């Protein structure tokens, strides 16, 4: 990996051990030649691994002996461009402690300079135009180093030796607005667009109810929770040790943690949600802002509603001009969009900034390069070289022109970085996904993968296995082999194929897309299926649409929507998943016996759960207990389906519904009580962001 301070580390180690030779980056990685006594060399080799800098990952260390050349000194040689280009681009890295000390040290020449960085920190992936990773190939190329910076850059003993984006107030980028001014505006309740690492944020005072409400109104974001940046997260959330560790990691994701009741945050930051997304400042500019503002800031993606985040200066001013009262921008260009990552302690929800383009291992090695194009929503792609899978950052919903463009330009960079031309493509079976259409247009061998097989394969392969196994895939929507919508599945599968052995009984979605936004329509469809009265006033009118527009869906997400609407939690939603999220919160940790649900042949009668909930509600039972019994009922129904299936004894859990922690924990516990071994996601999101990895695993396995 380049850009993680490895060469200066090797230099220091060799000098300390009085060894001669050289270290250099080449396009395959790092080459070190050392000359000395056997025992010294052994110690050197051991220390290379044991003392490697925090961001360095040694994937493999190969050694060979050569004839001594009588060298006397140890040198760092400047990169050679040739050879096979396989050196990897590092992810963006949060400001390190050494740079922070300089940032707040009045005697330092970079005191309060918002672009301070070094070999251990700073922008990487988001400023790279081409490989290898050298300053000339980044958006810092246009800033010529001053004499002082050049001396540091060329001095192997300096911590900025070949720190490609290094700069200072004399030679580096500049802000478009003074930090003091930005802070005053924020204090006044204004909205400021702030340029970050992979795009713009829209920021305002998180404690100012009116400011947050104005931001929501202008951005067209009604209720979806907003993330908060703060230097003092303990005031806002109760942090478990693993949450704290993630929050402070070099990747600096947004961590979902439980809100404190007394958190000094406006109610409209995360309405109806007991979780709050918090992150620490991760660029010097953020550190200065947070220190001066001395409070929590809403830091939400710089976009309107669900568009991709803005990242180019002029584009941002055009798109965000109607939302922001001011822009805190600068002249270091962002080459590629990379949104903040979002994680829970147990698994990521969005794996993007700080993680991309780092590789994940596959359980088998591909005999030729593969590109898997992913799904449509929460889209990612995946490039496979050997046994490594390189996932793209979060691309967003591919049905927007901006996201589709990012898909193609980021794919070009990945192929260049990995020095591969794809020889095999994998895509979703869906006839209309843009990612699938793109794949079909290429004149290459293509594997079309069923959506839920890809989910199952992603979870299995992420756990290092190839199957066979069972898979419970509880998801929103995926194109099925029979052309209907699947998403409440029990599969028996391996990386080569699958068999659908049980699934939710499909119900019509009255009005198609409209039913996704109005869960009450789905509740009505389920209640009719269960021979229960439908309490919604609009039903007689909407029912007419069943004749023309009511695609069948077996999606588990829709079953949760139905229960949520029935309990009056959410009849209409303003963001995807809202009904289920609020139902989960209603259930909380309330104990309840599961509702029972028949399975006849391969059909799991989800309507039984809705009927039971309806009857309990009519009988006056507590809604929280009903929500709990419903969750337990879903978990029990699929556990029983696994029991009926019998073999194999390993079950993987995937699909967006398994972001529901109660459902995940209950399903897992019940399966384990019946002696099943359970595999879950921990590196990848359970949602559709994992699809490209699953497709890649299946395509890789097909070449074995
Ligand atoms: Zn640093
Ligand atoms: Zn300088």
Distance of alpha carbon 204 from alpha carbon 201, whole angstroms: 10
Partners of 389 in the β-ladder: 360, 384
Omega prior to 648 cis, within 30 of 0: yes
The residues, any chain, with a CB within 8 Å of residue 427's CB and separated by 6 or more, are: 372, 373, 374, 433, 435, 436, 438, 439, 440, 446, 447, 448, 449, 695
pLDDT of 584 higher than 50:
yes
Q: Which two tokens stand for residue 352?
A: 């993007």
- Per-residue CA distances from 61 to 50, 80, 227, 390 (Å): 12, 20, 41, 21
What is the structure's pLDDT at 2? 59
CA of 411 to the centre of ligand 1 (A): 29
Distance of alpha carbon 451 from alpha carbon 654, whole angstroms: 11
Q: At 167, is the secondary structure helix, strand, or coil? A: coil
CB of 439 closer than 8 Å to CB of 446:
yes
CA of 251 to the centre of ligand 2 (A): 26
pLDDT band at 9 (very low <50, low <70, confident <90, very high): confident
What is the structure's pLDDT at 146? 98
Q: Which residue has the higher pLDDT, 507 or 571?
A: 507
CA of 317 to the centre of ligand 1 (A): 30
- Per-residue CA distances from 161 to 40, 90, 226 (Å): 25, 17, 39
Closest alpha carbon to 653 in 661, 284, 645: 661
For residues 588-617, give the mean pLDDT: 96
The residues, any chain, with a CB within 8 Å of residue 130's CB and separated by 6 or more, are: 137, 413, 416
CB of 603 closer than 8 Å to CB of 485:
no
Concatenated DSSP letters for 107-151?
TSTTTT-TT--BTTBB--GGGB-SSS--GGGBTTTTSPPPHHHHH
pLDDT band at 81 (very low <50, low <70, confident <90, very high): low
pLDDT in tens, 122-166: 999 999 988 878 899 999 999 999 999 999 998 888 889 889 999
Q: Which two tokens stand for residue 513?
A: 């897309």
Ligand with an atom nearest the CA of residue 147: 2
pTM: 0.91
Ligand with an atom nearest the CA of residue 169: 2
Helix and strand totals (H; E) in the chain:
21, 28
- Per-residue CA distances from 9 to 134, 158, 249 (Å): 18, 10, 21
Q: Which two tokens stand for residue 330?
A: 């600068």
CA of 2 to the centre of ligand 2 (A): 22
pLDDT in tens, 222-278: 889 999 999 999 999 999 999 999 999 999 999 999 999 999 999 999 998 899 999
CA of 114 to the centre of ligand 1 (A): 12
For the chain, what's the residue count? 704
Distance of alpha carbon 641 from alpha carbon 686, whole angstroms: 21
- Per-residue CA distances from 210 to 177, 189, 218, 331, 443 (Å): 24, 7, 12, 31, 54
Query: Which residue do the tokens 């600096």 mark?
Result: 252
For residues 70-74, give the mean pLDDT: 87
What is the structure's pLDDT at 72? 85
Distance of alpha carbon 585 from alpha carbon 508, whole angstroms: 27
Which range (321-335, 424-438, 570-584) has the least confidence?
570-584
What is the structure's pLDDT at 345? 92
Buried b (16+ CB within 10 A) or exposed e, 328-361: bbbebbbbbbbbbbbbbbebbbbbbbbbbbbbbe
CA of 105 to the centre of ligand 1 (A): 14
What is the structure's pLDDT at 428? 97
CA of 18 to the centre of ligand 2 (A): 32
Distance of alpha carbon 252 from alpha carbon 72, whole angstroms: 43
CA of 153 to the centre of ligand 2 (A): 10
pLDDT of 288 higher than 60:
yes
What's the chain's Rg over C-alpha atoms? 27
CA of 182 to the centre of ligand 1 (A): 25
Which range (70-79, 100-109, 396-405, 591-600) has the least confidence?
70-79
CB of 569 closer than 8 Å to CB of 583:
yes
CA of 126 to the centre of ligand 2 (A): 21
pLDDT band at 87 (very low <50, low <70, confident <90, very high): low
Closest alpha carbon to 501 in 637, 607, 601: 601
What is the structure's pLDDT at 79? 62
Ligand with an atom nearest the CA of residue 54: 1
Ligand with an atom nearest the CA of residue 146: 2
CA of 99 to the centre of ligand 1 (A): 4
CA of 172 to the centre of ligand 2 (A): 6
Kind of pairing, strands 254-259 and 348-350? unpaired
CB of 302 closer than 8 Å to CB of 193:
yes
Distance of alpha carbon 639 from alpha carbon 57, whole angstroms: 40
CA of 159 to the centre of ligand 1 (A): 8
Burial class (CB in 10 A: 0-12, 13-18, 19+), 62: exposed
pLDDT of 28 higher than 80:
no
Q: What share of the chain is helix, strand, coil (3-state, %, to 5)?
A: 35, 20, 45
What is the structure's pLDDT at 510? 92
CA of 279 to the centre of ligand 2 (A): 30
Q: Which two tokens stand for residue 536?
A: 């919604």
pLDDT of 1 higher than 80:
no
CA of 25 to the centre of ligand 1 (A): 20
pLDDT of 83 higher than 50:
no
Partners of 276 in the β-ladder: 257
Distance of alpha carbon 214 from alpha carbon 35, whole angstroms: 66
pLDDT in tens, 465-512: 999 999 999 998 899 999 899 999 999 999 999 999 999 999 999 998
CA of 98 to the centre of ligand 1 (A): 6
CA of 284 to the centre of ligand 1 (A): 10
Ligand with an atom nearest the CA of residue 110: 2
CB of 31 closer than 8 Å to CB of 66:
no
Q: What share of the chain in percent tops pLDDT 70?
A: 98
Distance of alpha carbon 537 from alpha carbon 524, whole angstroms: 10
CB of 412 closer than 8 Å to CB of 405:
no
CA of 134 to the centre of ligand 2 (A): 17
CB of 314 closer than 8 Å to CB of 194:
no
CA of 307 to the centre of ligand 1 (A): 32
Residues lying with their CB under 5 A of ligand 2, a single-atom ion: 146, 149, 168, 170-171
CB of 553 closer than 8 Å to CB of 506:
yes
Q: Which two tokens stand for residue 310?
A: 């803005």
CA of 168 to the centre of ligand 2 (A): 4
Mean of pLDDT over the chain: 93
Ligand with an atom nearest the CA of residue 118: 1
Ligand with an atom nearest the CA of residue 282: 1
pLDDT band at 84 (very low <50, low <70, confident <90, very high): very low
Q: Which two tokens stand for residue 535?
A: 């309490």
CA of 170 to the centre of ligand 2 (A): 5
Segment 180-189 long-range contacts (CB within 8 Å, at least 24 positions apart): 180/292, 181/326, 182/289, 182/326, 182/328, 183/289, 183/292, 183/293, 185/325, 185/326, 186/289, 186/293, 186/297, 187/293, 189/214
Q: Which of 53-57, 199-203, 569-573 has the highest mean pLDDT?
A: 199-203
CA of 634 to the centre of ligand 2 (A): 61
Strand stretches in 505-570, DSSP E? 507-508, 552-553
pLDDT band at 451 (very low <50, low <70, confident <90, very high): very high
């Amino acid at each position: 990996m380049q850009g993680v301070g490895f060469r200066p580390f090797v230099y220091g180690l060799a000098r300390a051990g009085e060894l001669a030779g050289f270290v250099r980056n080449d396009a395959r990685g790092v080459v070190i030649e050392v000359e000395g006594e056997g025992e010294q060399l052994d110690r050197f080799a051991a220390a290379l691994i044991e003392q490697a800098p925090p961001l360095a990952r040694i994937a493999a260390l190969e050694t060979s002996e050569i004839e001594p050349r009588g060298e006397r000194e140890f040198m760092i040689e400047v990169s050679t461009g040739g050879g096979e280009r396989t050196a990897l681009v590092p992810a963006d890295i949060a400001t390190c402690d050494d740079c922070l000390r300089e940032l707040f040290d009045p005697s330092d020449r970079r005191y309060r300079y918002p672009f301070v960085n070094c070999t251990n920190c700073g922008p990487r992936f988001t400023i790279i135009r081409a490989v290898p990773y050298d300053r000339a190939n980044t958006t810092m190329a246009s800033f010529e180093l001053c004499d002082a910076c050049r001396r540091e850059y060329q001095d192997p003993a300096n911590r900025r030796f070949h720190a490609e984006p290094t700069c200072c107030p004399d030679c580096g980028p500049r802000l478009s607005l003074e930090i003091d001014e930005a802070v005053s505006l924020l204090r006044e309740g204004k909205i400021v667009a702030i340029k970050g690492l992979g795009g713009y944020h829209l920021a305002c005072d998180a404690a100012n109810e009116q400011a947050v409400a104005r931001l929501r109104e202008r951005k067209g974001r009604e209720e979806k929770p907003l993330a908060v940046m703060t230097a003092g997260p303990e005031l806002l959330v109760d942090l478990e040790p693993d949450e704290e560790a993630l929050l402070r990691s070099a990747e600096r994701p947004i961590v979902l943690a439980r809100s404190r009741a007394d958190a000094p945050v406006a109610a409209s930051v995360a309405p109806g949600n007991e979780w709050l997304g918090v992150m620490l400042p991760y660029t010097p500019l953020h550190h200065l802002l947070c220190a001066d503002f001395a409070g929590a800031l809403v830091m939400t993606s710089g976009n309107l509603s669900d568009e991709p985040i803005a990242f180019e200066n002029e584009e941002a001013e055009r798109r965000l001009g109607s939302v922001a009262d001011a822009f805190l921008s600068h002249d270091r260009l962002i080459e590629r969009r990379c949104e903040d990552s979002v994680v829970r302690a147990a698994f990521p929800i969005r794996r993007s900034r700080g993680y991309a383009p780092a590789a994940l291992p596959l359980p088998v090695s591909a005999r030729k390069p593969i590109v898997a194009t992913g799904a449509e929503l929460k889209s990612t792609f995946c490039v496979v070289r050997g046994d490594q899978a390189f996932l793209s950052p979060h691309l967003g919903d591919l049905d927007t022109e901006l996201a589709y463009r990012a898909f193609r330009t980021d794919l070009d960079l990945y192929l260049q970085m990995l020095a591969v031309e794809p020889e095999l493509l994998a895509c979703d079976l869906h006839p209309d996904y843009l990612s699938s259409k793109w794949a079909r247009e290429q004149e290459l061998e293509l594997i079309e993968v069923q959506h839920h097989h890809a989910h199952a394969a992603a979870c299995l392969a992420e756990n290092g296995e190839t199957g066979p196994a069972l898979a419970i895939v509880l998801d929103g929507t995926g194109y099925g082999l029979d052309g209907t919508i699947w998403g409440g599945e029990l599969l028996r599968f391996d990386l080569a194929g699958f068999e659908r052995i049980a699934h939710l009984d499909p119900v019509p979605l009255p009005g198609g897309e409209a039913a996704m936004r109005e869960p009450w329509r789905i509740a009505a469809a389920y209640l009719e299926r269960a021979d229960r009265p439908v309490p919604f006033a609009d039903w007689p009118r909407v029912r007419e649409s069943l004749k023309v527009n009511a695609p069948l869906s077996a999606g588990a997400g829709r079953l949760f929507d139905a229960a949520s609407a029935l309990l009056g939690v959410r009849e209409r939603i303003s963001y995807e998943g809202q009904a289920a999220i609020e139902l989960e919160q209603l259930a909380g940790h309330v104990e309840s016996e599961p509702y029972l649900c028949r399975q006849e042949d391969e059909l799991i009668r989800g309507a039984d759960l809705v009927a039971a909930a309806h009857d309990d509600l009519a009988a006056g039972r507590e809604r929280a207990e009903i929500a709990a019994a419903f969750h337990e009922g879903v978990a029990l129904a699929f556990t029983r389906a696994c029991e009926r299936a019998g073999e194999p004894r390993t079950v993987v859990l995937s699909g967006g519904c398994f972001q529901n922690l109660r459902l995940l924990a209950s399903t897992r516990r019940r399966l384990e009580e019946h002696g099943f071994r359970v595999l879950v996601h921990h590196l990848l999101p359970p949602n559709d962001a994992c699809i490209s990895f699953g497709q890649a695993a299946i395509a890789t396995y097909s070449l074995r």
